Structure 1
Amino acid sequence: MIVVSWNCQGLGQALTKRTLKDLCYKLRPSIVFLMETKQRTWVLERLRRQLGFFGGEYVEPDGRSGGLAIWWEEGMDIHFFEKTKFFIDGVCREKQQDTWHFTFVHGPSRRAERPSFWREFTRIHRSQVIPWLVLGDLNLLTSSGDCQHAGSSNSFFLLNELMAQGHLVDLGFKGSPYTWTNGREGDANVQRRLDRALANSAWQNLFPSTQVLHELRLGSDHCPLVLSTDAIPKPKGKRFRYEMQWELQDGFTEVIQQGWHKVTSGSSLFQLAKKLQSCKQTLKDWSKQHRSHKSSDVQFLLNELALLQQQPMDANNSRKQREIIQHIDKIWSEDEAYWFQRSRVNWLKFGDRNSSFFHAIASRRRSRNHIVKLKDDMGRWLQQPADIEQHIFHTFQNLYSEHNASNYTDILNLIQPTVTDEMNSKLCATVTMKEVEQATFQLGAFKSPGPDGFPGVFYHRNWNLVRTHIFTAISHFFEHGYMFKELNCTNIVLVPIVKNPEMISQYRPISLCNFSYKIIAKILANRLKGLLDCLISPLQSAFVPGRMIQDNILVAHEAFHSLKLRRNKGCPYMAVKLDIRKAYDSVRWSFLQDVLRAFGFCERWVQWIMQCVTTVSYSLIVNGKSMPLFYPKRGLRQGDPLLPYLYLFVSNVLSRMFNEAERQRYISGFQIKRGCPKISHLLFADDTLVFGKATYQEAAQILEILRQYAVASGQQVNFSKSAIIFSNNTPFCRRTEICAQFAIRSDSSVSKLQGWKRALLSQAGREVLIKAVVLAMPSYAMACFKFPVRICSLINKEIRAFWWGQQEQEKRISWIPWTKMVTSKWHGGLGFKDLECFDLALLARQAWRLINHPNALWAQVLKAIHFPDVDFVNAQEGSNPSWAWKSLLKGRNLLQHGLGWNIGSGESVNVWSDAWVPMLPSFRILSPAPPDKENLKVSNLVSARGTWDTRKLNALFQPYEVNEILKIPLAASCDTIVWHYTKSGDFSVKTAYFVATSLSMATQPSASRPSAFWKSIWKLRVPPKGPTSLLRSPLLHPWVIVSLCGACEAMPWQT
């Protein structure tokens, strides 16, 4: 843990902020305590967000002086007891560490204020029985050694008396002996040690390796204090990684060409690996000789500044310090501009293009992923790095080890060959340069690189140089069917699944594959995914193009709703939610190979796939250190483009096993309503939901299927994370019996399934909405369920307050109303999303899919339940509707505002009630229908020659309507439903959102036109704050600002 304390003497200066940012980047502190901030809370909050700290607490300044701030990173559990203008008092607990008390102090500089302050301070320390840390600018000395010239003996007494009463000791320091200077020259210069860290014996026992460092004075008269509870580690050599900053330096292109064009021999794949190695070595050698001045020069200047600050202050010394500080400030300004350029693409979606934000997020992730201690399989804490590394290495070595598999021929016999010769021919076609290039640029440019250190941006930026050799190497793989193992080396990094993980099972292994391998895998994935809809069970809704995971969510919701409505009548039913333990990591390679063959894939395709899967080698990265290579015997890599599609074939076997059991009546499945398809199970990627009668016999059959599947595939069910929900008419004793049979607690089902709904609207979810990608987390839920208006309004309010800088009860001017903020930037708004309208747009998309995919399983289920005798457009809510159905109807209501017909033959379209004339308001005929022609079809308006019958048109419609009808081309095809707000006629969430916002503001979408003024403003190549500041311009607001005398309230010329 690192704690930084600094009397910054105002954060208004750019140099002061840059110094603070540099400290945070370099040290990644857990807590930062700032004194004399002289800034309002909203300014400090903005800076906190830029630096990536999790939380903050503040004491407002008193006029132009004072002000305290404390920031902390994620994982620090902090509670505050008291805040005054002189101190902040509270307790802290970091992850699994013990709780300790802190008092961050900015002692009064005025003697008259000191007695009252120290009385309050004495009251605090009298109750201390836990570890206690006192840190900050105490504005007192302990001895004459704390100052360059003699100080007040009274100040010596006060601090020594306090330390004695509180049983506090000075933790000492390293660095310059003084923390403050008056900045004067010669004999007038005064330097003192006013900042210090004090602690009681309990603190020292808890953190025996605590060190305090006095950093350089820069941007303030005080130097920052850095308190570290661990010995400061020496910097270690990093693994090679291609740096984008090299591209900005002279001679870079020549270096890349030199390394790439070195002559090598061997196969094309071997040559590719050697060329990458040559570039790697060339870049390493070149980078040592051409280091960026932004790092080396700054460090040199900082060292020189440190020497000057330890020397007597005279005119020459003062001048040199000013020059060095100006030079450092200039370099940091250039560095900020560089990071702005680098971070634009990566972080544009977060709405913040500041380089400090980029650095802070990266530092925060590194800190979160760092493993300090870990529990082993026996529950013992491991704290030594060697013990942690050994435990992790053996755990994953065992995880990826193969276990004996029994004969599973009966399971494979359930798979009918469905891959045709034509499919195999397309899969095994000769690879083309276009295909290679497409795959290369589909892969992320800035994803973490594999062991070779080259990310996608290297290939993208140097494509003209490397494209020929890349294509030759990939063609070699497809021609010969063998992978060069060095290209398939993979690093594994561990990402926490839960907050504050304690065991290795609470980390997710993410594979960092070499980009050159990922190009091959992406080509295979692109070829395969187009066939998945024909090969994968319709009960699987994940990863299959054309399907959405919300489809099965809707079916599951209807099933749960039906189970809840079942009373005393009928047979009791159950739904079992199964979680697979390490689903991707436990797939048996032999089983995958046999499954692919059983589906009918040709041997050449199977060989390509298995070469990608079986030639892998792993190196675990633990706290930045690479572990020895090992060779797995099973598992699919999370990070491999092939992973989701290959896993579909494995899980499809389980689906066929349940289908066979249902066919033989071993399990009964569940029919939500008469006329509905019977459902035995639903698949959500690696999660499975199984339905059946709540009987001991069916539970035993489900367990037997899972056992056979586990033996064959290696997929073990994690019953501790599984759940069961029963229909309301299931007796309690039977629930208990079945839960015991599955080894699931009877209350786990309720908590799990209720948690699904609560998690969608959690506080953490709302925080992510506001601080990151506003709609990333709830979008899945919004596509199925209508969020309550109250919740949407609350989140919109928080977004609005966050944007304008409002903090708690502090009021800020909202320069434009919320209705304007949610309009597009080209219309003078800010382009924010209104959650309620966005929710409706997503529901409208699902309603559109329900109309256009009537044969899908989820569509059949909804039709049988809610509109068996009518179409979806005319469906009613009905009695006891589910939340999902009511939500879909709201989406349909929005859809109908843009839903219309593209005329083919006209036989399906009613002239008066349907929308079929694109350029008319609401796309419908407004002329009244004659009583005898209410059911008239558009086809009746077409002559025998296949053209519009103008005589009939003129007799029935207004002239302007006739003109628009005549513009519609006729065809002999069927009539099709279209979305009128896109040129293609296909539905889009973007246009539906536009319609929803227009309706909410009681305007027609077509009436709004982009403003030429705002289009030109937002197209300017200036920082985003430029156009945004115009929104505050008085010229855009019809406000009358009148200057009145504060005393008599008269005009100035009247006084």
Structure 2
Amino acid sequence: MLWKVSSNCSILNYTRNFINLLVEDEQRGEWRLTCYYGYLERSRRSSAWDLLRELGNISSLPWCIIGDFNDLLAQEDKRGNLPHPNWLCSGFRQAISDCDLSDIPLEGYPFTWIKSRGTPHVIEERLDRAMASTSWLNLFPNVRLSNLLASHSDHSPILLPCTPSSRSRFNGSFRFENSWLREPDLEEVVLEGWGAHENIEVVDRVARCANILQSWGRKKKVKFKEEIDECVRVMEVLRGNQGEEEGRRYQEIHDRHAVLLVQEEDYWKQRAKMHWLKEGGMNTSFFHKSATARRKKKNISKLVDEGGMEVHTQEELCEVAKQYFDTLFKPKNGEQEPVLTLIQRRVTEEDNMYLAAPITKVEIQQALFQMHPDKSPGPDGFNTAFYQRFWEQCGDDIFVAASTWLDRGYFPTSLNETNICLVPKCDNPNSMKDLRLISLCNVLYKMISKVLANRLKLCLDKCVSQEQSAFVEGRSILDNALIAIEVLHSLKRKTKGRRGELAFKIDISKAYDKVDWGFLRGVLTSMGFGDSWIRWIMMCVSSVNYSVLMNYDKVGPIIPGRGLRQGDPLSPYLFILVAEGLTSLIHQAVGRAKEDLASILGVRHVLGTGIYLGLSSMIGRSKKAIFSYIKDRIWKKMNSWRGRPLSKAGKDVMIKSVLQAIPSYVMSLFILPSSLIDDIEKMLNAFWWGGGSHNNKGIHWLAWDRLTCPKAKGGLGFRKFEAFNMAMVAKQAWNIIQNPESLAGKLIKARYFPRSSLLEASLGYNPSYAWRSIWKAKQILLHGCRWRIGSGDRVRVMYDPWLRGNGDRWVTSPQVECVYDLFVKDLLLENYKAWDIAKIRNLCLGSVAEEIIATPLISSVKEDKVIWEEKRNGCYSVKSGYNLAMRCIFRSDRHHVEGNWNDIWKAQSPHKTRHLLCRLCRGCLPTHVRLAQHYVDCELSCPVCDDEVEDDIHVFFGCVSARECWMAAGLSQLLENPAYQNGTATDRVFRMCRNEDNAILGRVGRMAFAVWNEWFTVHQLRHHNIAPVADPRPVR
């Protein structure tokens, strides 16, 4: 039983067969609602009628009762097979009369339950109904009961709306709907609006196309809803006719109905912005709730203006935003020349020729398809998905227009119009500083900007000092965090010496928004960028005008005099170029006393800098307390999703794409405490098996270690966090090995292994927590690295891994004593890069000589280099490191279960049905036998058959309802096949995997899901010895 928070309801009492609710209606007063489930067994019908009489005598309040009564009032409530016994009809009618209840007429199809659809033995009955007392009907004189369609259940849902629906509609500007992409006539409408053969500007084509699509879409939206209703109407008519032609027509309408439902899902998914959820069944309700939650979160109800006054009205909120942005984007004078003179020329003529070369159509296409198709559009309303879909039709015009604009040196005014979206940084923002500014640029502009960004980032390495690591290819922002941690660790541990040292953290508020355009031009000029390139950059930066979205009202236009847009592909690269001015000042700066700096700058003396680049700059004694915020973030994320319907397949994607990603950044540099990792894994396991909250933990049918096994070995491929953590940190160790001249590499080597290599380094004295983490994670590299022989003068024969082959990479002991002092170069011929076979066989014992000779030598390789054996390209990846750690360090193979798992995951069926088959084969379904094994007090017999034990085989293969599902799916021959009659349910499914193709397995999966839904429907109200207040359903 669920109700909205705004409804004033309270539960009076409940059992396994009913829930009694008191509703306090402001307009109509108090009334009573009972949700009811009648006894299924005919032998208990008299008890069911007595229960109805007891419920009727509880109170004299207006009363409505609704649910599955499992009883019929008349013979007309049934069609097919034998007539319903008259004594049952009479007994039920008498009970209704005793309770003074009136049956509310059912609109639509007359039956709510069906059995054996599509067969000569089809049975249909009206088991579900709503009834009310006279006093209740007086309160709701126009009430109607509707019969709806069910997607899986054999019961039809019934709807009894008590209040008229009212929906406010926002008449906003045009936005392209992704659901339109499935409309067959969309291309015709777009081509009409685009006007490919007319000589007009592209921005005018876009505007005209938007107008035509808006008009077409307005009709299509009405038609979209009407067509769903029409499909439902036709299916309601056809489902009463069981002929062959009617069955074929029913299937056609059913397929069209499915397409329309997918379009509806696309509609809400576009608004929910849940880019991580790619599959997992129909999630329309989930996306709808997510979009609603997202809209509520973005709503701003109050702000504090510049005078400190709190404002609430929409007009006042808009005025506060207008004043704030007018001030923020107002340019300020500053002395630039002393800084610009410090910046050296770094761009060559060859670079300028590459940067300023005419753009090509291929570059624009690549830039377009590098963007996410579902990101929010700019003011013109067209998102990336539109241009990606119609690139063939529009690409030539876009390319010609972009080339023309860059050649002439200015954009059309409307091209660079930008909406500013205000995203709250906290739950209850009350000032503009609590809002993050995200710029929504037109995709047509972003294509050009991204082409320029793709060119610029190839030149960044030479333009940006080694102190900056963000956005530069080949560098890692974690290098800066590692350097900061090591420096602060050194400062903290220093107790001797007369020379003082300090660390100074600079945090720039609204950094992007305060970049001065004149200074940006000066930096580009000082670095040596050509005039054409600078003109293109300044076109993109200075031609912008803003409109601020305040609760979907537009504030503006706002004409800025400075700032870079967060949302423009160019902005990150331009910002780090501007930051080179600060880097140059730091290079020039001379040492000053800490007190002088603190006095001049107005800063505090502290030990450490708190959070730097998202990581703790100093790690104290209690590691779990320091990193506990990770667990809090995961719990908060899981808790925020309660009430949003997610199937097991949806949970699978959410865990892998969202929850497991939360600690990834911290795990890139620090090894988290084992106790914290255990807590996180327990939380995720509880979320997977239960409802994601403490109120519904469910039975944990498998431990997390078993769920982390690969899908091909009976697991679900979830992460073992300890192994993943080590693999992430091992990436930092690999970067130090491969880039010894980087700033981080030189610092770490100088501190911890000045006279050896990282692979040989010891933990050392007084290490930082970052080095402890790297040192622990290097064991992954020791398992998977070897030296690739170049000159051989850096590789020791006995103490380094360098052999190639299936055996050990080290030369095994014992060997001749002199071998222990040799380098690999000593085993090579002097004037030719080849093995000295005679010398090797003379020095090395046993099979070692042959292993050395079998190790290939590549003549083009001149330098000895550490390579990663687990990948063909020799480069370390977190994925391959994780797989090696699971295999060699954590021995995950002990949890592997052999079977035809890959065939199940490749079955042509929805993701949720494959999940169900895997849970069936792993013994994770709560049948009565399984529950009894987990000490749950329940009857062992099947509630449908009564006389057989309910186990996996019975539920899916033997039960009457299961066999009917097999028959309805056209799989009777498969069920009766002698090859699938023996063994456990797992054995039978695996034999089907070996013998049947993916299409048949997909049908089996969908059929199994139908069986399980039927099982779930029967059990959710019958098998609870103690009915909980919250969610009474067993965990599926």
Return the TM-score normalized by structure 2. 0.69
The letter for the 1-side match of 2:673 is: P
Counterpart CA distance in 1 for 2:897 and 2:417 is 52
Return the match for 2:313 from 384, 392, 395.
Answer: 384
Q: Which amino acid aligns with 1:893?
A: Q
* Equivalent residue for 2:207, pick from 269, 274, 277: 277
Structure 1 residue 484 corresponds to structure 2 residue 412 = yes
Whole-angstrom distance in 2 between the partners of 1:519 and 1:532? 20
Q: Who is 2:194 aligned against?
A: 260
Tell me if the contact between 1:141 and 1:194 (Cα under 8 Å) persists in the aligned partners.
Answer: no
Contact 1:349 1:773 in 2 (8 A): no
Higher mean Cα deviation, 929-938 or 771-780?
Answer: 771-780
Please tell me the residue identity of whatever aligns with 1:62. Answer: T
Q: Work out whether residues 824 and 831 of structure 1, in 8 Å CA contact, stay in contact via their aligned partners in 2.
A: yes
**1:968 has 2:851 as partner:** no
Contact 1:450/1:512 (8 A) holds in 2: yes
Give the match for residue 694 of structure 1: 594
- TM-score relative to the length of structure 1: 0.68
Contact 2:21 2:32 (C-alpha < 8 Å) held by counterparts: yes
Q: What residue in structure 2 maps to residue 821 of structure 1?
A: 707
AA of the residue aligned to 1:993: Y
| Alpha-carbon separation, structure 2, partners of 1:391 and 1:233 | 30
Q: Establish whether residue 62 from structure 1 lines up as the match of residue 18 from structure 2.
A: no
What does the per-residue CA deviation read over 1:379-415, in whole Å, with 9 as the maximum and x for residues that have no partner? 3222221121122122212221223x14422221111
User: Which of 740, 747, 767 matches 1:861?
Assistant: 747
- Distance between the aligned counterparts of 1:88 and 1:694, measured in 2? 69
2:728 paired residue number: 842
Are 1:460 and 2:388 counterparts? yes
Go from structure 1 to structure 2 and tell me whether the alpha carbon gap of 1:1035 and 1:596 turns closer, same or farther (over 3 Å shift): closer
Preserved contact between residue 105 and residue 138 of structure 1 (Cα < 8 Å): no
Secondary structure in 2 matching 1:509: strand
1:349-360 → structure 2 map (5 Å cutoff): 349=277, 352-353=280-281, 354-360=283-289
Q: Which amino acid aligns with 1:991?
A: S
The 5-angstrom pairing of residues 213-362 of structure 1 reads 223=160, 234-265=168-199, 271-291=201-221, 293-296=223-226, 335-339=260-264, 347-349=275-277, 352-353=280-281, 354-362=283-291
Is the contact between residue 911 and residue 937 of structure 1 (CA under 8 Å) also seen in structure 2?
yes
Q: Which residue matches 1:677?
A: none
Identify the match of residue 872 of structure 2 among 983, 986, 999: 983
Residue matched to 1:642? 570
1:764 aligns with 2:633: yes
Deviation at 1:182, TM superposition (A): 4.0
Q: Distance in 2 between matches of 1:504 and 1:644?
A: 23
Distance, in Å, in 2 between the alignment partners of 1:855 and 1:366 is 49
* Cα deviation, residue 500, structure 1: 0.8
Q: 1:941 and 1:104 mapped to 2: Cα distance?
A: 96
Q: Is the contact made by 2:460 and 2:472 (CA closer than 8 Å) also made in structure 1? A: yes
Unmatched 5+ stretches in structure 1? 8-28, 37-58, 67-84, 90-102, 111-136, 148-179, 198-212, 304-325, 668-692, 704-718, 729-747
CA–CA distance in structure 2, aligned partners of residues 104 and 850 of structure 1? 72
Using the alignment, how far apart are the partners of 1:614 and 1:985 within structure 2?
45
CA distance in 2, matches of 1:139, 1:620: 58
- Indicate how the Cα distance of structure 1 residues 463 and 910 shifts in structure 2: closer, same or farther if over 3 A, else same: same
Q: Which residue is equivalent to 2:98?
A: none
After superposition, the Cα gap between the structure-2 partners of 1:584 and 1:962, relative to the gap in structure 1 and judged at 3 Å, is same
- The partner residue of 2:583 within 655, 659, 672 is 655
Partner of 1:994: 883
Contact kept, 8 Å, 1:905 with 1:970, in 2: the verdict is no
Following the alignment from structure 1 to structure 2, what is the Cα–Cα distance between the partners of residues 995 and 190? Answer: 66
Q: Is the partner of 2:547 in helix, strand or coil? A: strand
Contact 1:107 1:138 in 2 (8 A): no
- Structure 2 residue aligned with 1:416, among 344, 349, 363? 344
Per-residue deviation at 1:106? Answer: 7.1
Q: Residue 42 of structure 2 corresponds to which residue in structure 1? A: none
Residue type of the alignment partner of 2:598 = A
Contact 1:521–1:641, Cα closer than 8 Å, also in 2 = yes
Tell me how far 1:698 sits from its aligned partner. Answer: 2.7
Deviation string 1:316-339 (CA, Å, 9 cap, x unpaired) is xxxxxxxxxx99999986544445
Aligned with residue 606 of structure 2, among 725, 731, 737: 725
Q: In structure 1, what is the Cα distance between the partners aligned to 2:921 and 2:197? A: 67
Map 1:893-908 onto structure 2 (within 5 A). Answer: 893-908=779-794
Q: Which amino acid aligns with 2:665?
A: Y
Report the counterpart of residue 1029 of structure 1 in structure 2: 916
Question: Where in structure 2 are there 5+ consecutive unaligned residues?
Answer: 37-55, 66-100, 108-129, 149-156, 234-250, 610-616, 639-653, 942-946, 950-1036
Question: Which residue of 2 is the match for residue 805 of structure 1?
Answer: 690
2:304 and 2:430 in contact (8 A); partners too: yes
Cα gap change, 1:727 to 1:843, in 2 (>3 Å):
closer
Q: Summarize deviations over 1:48-70 as a string: whole Å, max 9, x none.
A: xxxxxxxxxxx99632433xxxx
For residue 503 of structure 2, give the secondary structure of its aligned residue in structure 1: strand
Structure showing greater relative contact order (alpha-carbon pairs closer than 8 Å, 6 or more residues apart): 2
1:488 and 1:616 in contact (8 A); partners too: yes
In 2: Cα distance, 1:589 partner to 1:759 partner: 42
Query: Which deviates further from its counterpart, 1020-1029 or 754-763?
Result: 754-763
Write the deviation string for residues 945-990 of structure 1: whole angstroms up to 9, x where unpaired.
4323333444425448726742513325111110100000001000
How far apart, CA to CA, are the structure 1 residues paired with 2:502 and 2:928? 68
Matched, 1:942 2:842: no
- CA distance 1:383–1:767, shift in 2 (3 Å): closer
The 2-side partners of 1:143 and 1:32 are apart by 17
- Determine whether 1:1014 maps to 2:944: no
> How many Å separate the matches in 1 of 2:167 and 2:277?
35
Secondary structure of the equivalent of 1:443? coil
After superposition, where does 1:39-58 map in structure 2 within 5 Å? Answer: none
How far apart, CA to CA, are the structure 2 residues paired with 1:633 and 1:800? 52
The 1:842/1:902 distance shift into structure 2, 3 A limit, reads same
Aligned equivalents of 2:470, 2:948: Cα separation in 1: 74
Q: 1:296 to 1:913 in 2, by over 3 A?
A: same
Asked whether the 8 Å contact 2:421–2:549 carries over to 1, the reply is yes
Supply the AA of the counterpart residue of 1:1033: L
Residues 901 and 916, structure 1, Cα contact 8 Å, conserved in 2: yes
The answer as to whether partners of 2:689 and 2:697 remain within 8 angstroms in 1 is: no
Matched to 1:694, the amino acid is: K
- Report the CA distance shift for 1:141/1:591 in structure 2 as closer, same or farther (over 3 A): farther
Q: Secondary structure at the match of 2:181?
A: helix
Alignment partner of 1:726: what SS? coil
Q: Deviations over 1:875-926 (max 9, x none)?
A: 1112222111101101112221111111223222222222222323342233
Q: Give the Å deviation of 1:290.
A: 3.4
CA distance change for structure 1 residues 60 and 332 in 2, over 3 Å: closer, same or farther? Answer: farther
Which amino acid counterpart does residue 557 of structure 2 have in structure 1? L
2:479 matched residue in structure 1: 551
Q: Per the alignment, in what secondary structure is the counterpart of residue 783 of structure 2?
A: coil
2-structure distance, mates of 1:547, 1:903: 26
Secondary structure, aligned partner of 2:472: coil
Residue 680 (structure 2) aligned to one of 795, 798, 801: 795
Partner-residue secondary structure (3-state), 2:796: coil
For 1:462 and 1:441, the matched residues in 2 are separated by: 12
Which has the higher mean CA deviation after the structures are superposed, 939-948 or 326-335? 326-335
Q: 1:961 to 1:346 in 2, by over 3 A?
A: farther
Distance 1:241 1:470 in 2: 20
Q: Which residue of 2 aligns with 1:69?
A: none
Match of 2:328 in 1: 399
Taking only aligned residues, the RMSD between alpha carbons, in angstroms, comes to 4.6
For the pair 1:785 / 2:667, whether they are aligned, the reply is no
The CA distance in 2 between the partners of 1:810 and 1:259, in whole Å, is: 53
Residue 929 of structure 1 is matched in structure 2 by 815
